[in-house]
Structure 1
Amino acid sequence: MTWQAGLTGFLAGLLLSIITAPVGVSGAVFLLPVQLSVLHVPSPAVTPTNLLFNVVAGPGALVRYRRNGRLTGPLARLLIAGTLPGVVLGALIRVFALPGPRAFRLVAAAVLLPLGLWLCARALRPGMPDRAPLARPTILGLSLVVGTVGGVYGIGGGSLLGPILAGRGTPMTTLAPAALTATFVTSVAGATTYGILALTSSGDIAPHWTLGLLCGAGGLIGGYLGARLQPRLPEAALRLLLGALAIALAVLYLVQGLA
């Protein structure tokens, strides 16, 4: 790996985490196309490399949220209960079944685009009512699904759960720490699973350690800065940011899925 690639990874992790940490989304969701298209990390090694980014970058935002007393809570425990077994299942699917990414990208775009538009409309028109909060079994089931997706693609389930829960009225001050906590815990489990599978399977399965660590170092700093900014941003601005991120991700997946 060249020093230019390492610097690109560090800066990408830094900038993406500053933007995404305030709304509980892991920067890995936007780092994935950077690793594939710019840094040319092969598949499936890009998935554990992205999970390694989450492991290194996660504590930056979590430490800041812990200082604010908002790190633990029932929502975080509920999300972990679903995403933790899901990420292990996703890693197994990725290595042994290797599903094509096209279908996932199109489905994810179909989910994220209307959610992003709803969040933006909700932020720009504060009088719009929130939808009814999701029941705990529904949140648990969704967590299992997005945990599996995170294990397959290494994107962090918060990128999907965040817009859904925010659209159902969950405050960002509660949602962001819970989503990032679940992403961190499941990424540790996912990276460990890929490490074990790399010892027993052929192919480029192990993460690219140097690149993952450099991206994560940037994310560690960026996540701390982003979490520090969150209390200074109004709820409407945070919802607008999350909605814009969801729309951008949906458009990106739609273009890639149709290409």
Structure 2
Amino acid sequence: MWWGTGAVALVAGVLIAVVTAPVGVSGAVFLLPVQLSVLGVPSPAVTPTNLLYNVVAGPGALARHRRTGRLAGPLTRRLVLGTLPGVVLGAVIRVFAVPGPQVFRLLVAVFLLPLGVWLCVRTVRPRVRPAPAGAPRGESEDVLPSDASITVLAAGVGVVGGIYGIGGGSILGPILAGRGVPMALVAPAALASTFVTSVVGASTYAVLALTTGGDIAPAWGSGLLCGLGGLIGGYLGARLQPRLPEVALRLLLGVMAITVACLYVVQSLP
């Protein structure tokens, strides 16, 4: 890889992670145009390269959240508890019957677009549920949905991650925020779930690459350099998150959901 291309990969990882980490999104989906148009990653290898990016970049933001004590909360445990079996099941489904990626992208776009718009509208016209007296800002747990509903949601996203190789933060984040969970809880939990899903997914693709033809192995140079940038940017973004108002974070997450939906629609066009 030429040093100029490597620098682009590194800078792209930093910039994307700084913006997306505060709302619990790894940002891998926003690397797609850079990978395809600038870094020259072949289309089949984009998915495992995104997972590799998540694996390398994830510890940056997670380390920062761990220092603040927000990583070990009940929401994180519930999401990971659902994600782990979900991603394994998704990998099994991938072997036998997998809908085409265009169908998947359109379904996600149809889901995320109205969700992002609704989240933005609800943020502009808030319906605030006050936290109990003495609870720190954004850390009240009384707004969390039930254990079962969160675990089932995470399992479903894990299945999608196992089939299509996405982390899931861009789906989990808007759903949880839309249900009233504070962003201070959403961000670390969604990033932890994305990291776990990506580790399992990337390992699966690495094994498949040994026995299957085609460009399904990650583009290691691009993935590692983008991931290194994401490692730095994720830490900075997680450090920035407590300094941003809840309204700004929810609007940012809503706009990201809309943007991801639009990107998926464009990718699904002939």
Same fold (TM > 0.5): yes
TM-score, length basis structure 2: 0.88
- 1:115 maps to 115
1:18 and 2:29 correspond = no
Alignment of 1:53-132 (within 5 A): 53-94=53-94, 97=97, 99-127=99-127
1:54 shift after superposition: 0.6
Alignment of 1:180-195 (within 5 A): 180-195=191-206
Amino acid corresponding to residue 108 of structure 2 in structure 1: A
Give the distance between the partners of 2:100 and 2:40, measured in 1 at CA.
18
Give the distance between the partners of 1:33 and 1:76, measured in 2 at CA.
30
Give the distance between the partners of 2:95 and 2:41, measured in 1 at CA.
16
1:166 and 2:177 correspond = yes
Contact 2:166 2:198 in 1 (8 A): no
1:140 shift after superposition: 1.8
Contact 1:26 1:155 in 2 (8 A): no
1:81 shift after superposition: 1.6
- 1:242 maps to 253
1:223 and 2:245 correspond = no
TM-score, length basis structure 1: 0.91
Contact 1:44 1:94 in 2 (8 A): no
Amino acid corresponding to residue 269 of structure 2 in structure 1: L
Contact 2:39 2:222 in 1 (8 A): no
Give the distance between the partners of 1:249 and 1:176, measured in 2 at CA.
17
1:45 shift after superposition: 2.0
Amino acid corresponding to residue 6 of structure 1 in structure 2: G
Alignment of 1:28-43 (within 5 A): 28-43=28-43
| Identity across matched positions, percent | 69
1:91 shift after superposition: 4.0
- 1:197 maps to 208
Q: Deviations over 1:203-247 (max 9, x none)?
A: 222211111110000000100110011010111110000001011
Q: Deviations over 1:107-157 (max 9, x none)?
A: 111111111111111221224779x86433222222122122223333311
Give the distance between the partners of 2:178 and 2:129, measured in 1 at CA.
10
Q: Deviations over 1:144-203 (max 9, x none)?
A: 221222233333111001000100001011111011111112211111122222222222
* Number of corresponding residues: 258
1:150 and 2:161 correspond = yes
For structure 2, the residue ranges without an aligned partner over 5 or more in a row are 131-142
Q: Greater CA deviation, 82-91 or 44-53? A: 82-91
Contact 1:44 1:95 in 2 (8 A): no
The structure whose Rg is larger is 2
Structure 1 segments (4+ residues) deviating >6 Å: none
Tell me: CA distance 1:20–1:252, structure 2 relative to 1, closer, same or farther (3 Å).
same
Give the distance between the partners of 1:198 and 1:216, measured in 2 at CA.
20
- 2:134 maps to none
Tell me: CA distance 1:113–1:133, structure 2 relative to 1, closer, same or farther (3 Å).
farther
Give the distance between the partners of 2:229 and 2:119, measured in 1 at CA.
28
For structure 1, the residue ranges without an aligned partner over 5 or more in a row are none
Tell me: CA distance 1:98–1:203, structure 2 relative to 1, closer, same or farther (3 Å).
farther
Contact 1:84 1:147 in 2 (8 A): yes
Amino acid corresponding to residue 70 of structure 2 in structure 1: R
Give the distance between the partners of 2:156 and 2:35, measured in 1 at CA.
24
Contact 1:90 1:149 in 2 (8 A): yes
Specify the SS of the correspondent of 2:184: helix
1:136 and 2:151 correspond = no
